[in-house]
Amino acid sequence: MLTEQIKELITNGLPGSQVFVETDGYHYKVIVVSAQFEGLSRVKRSQAVYACIGHLINDGTLHSVPMETHTPEEWQSKQG
């Protein structure tokens, strides 16, 4: 299943991260929570995630992947 593949690729590429993949069967959205994002800009965070799954975009498996990237503290704040 592609959802699990995406999650595994990101988890392997960003060890210690929490990865949530949402899909309606056609479109995918990724939420990644990682301490590795501390001090990184939004662009650098996205680049880190794309480094894990970029080959799926390049080969046409995925068209684009909207994403949210958070540090653990940001995620905790967002959760209330």
Question: Following CA atoms 71, 5, 8, 54 in sequence, which dihedral angle do they give, to the nearest 10 degrees?
Answer: -60
In 3-state terms, what secondary structure has residue 67?
A: strand
Domain map (residue ranges) of the chain: 2-79
> If the chain, 80 residues long, is cut into consecutive pieces of 10 residues, what is the mean pLDDT of each piece?
95 97 93 98 97 95 93 93
CATH 3.40.50.2300 fits 2-79, yes or no: no
pLDDT of residue 80: 78
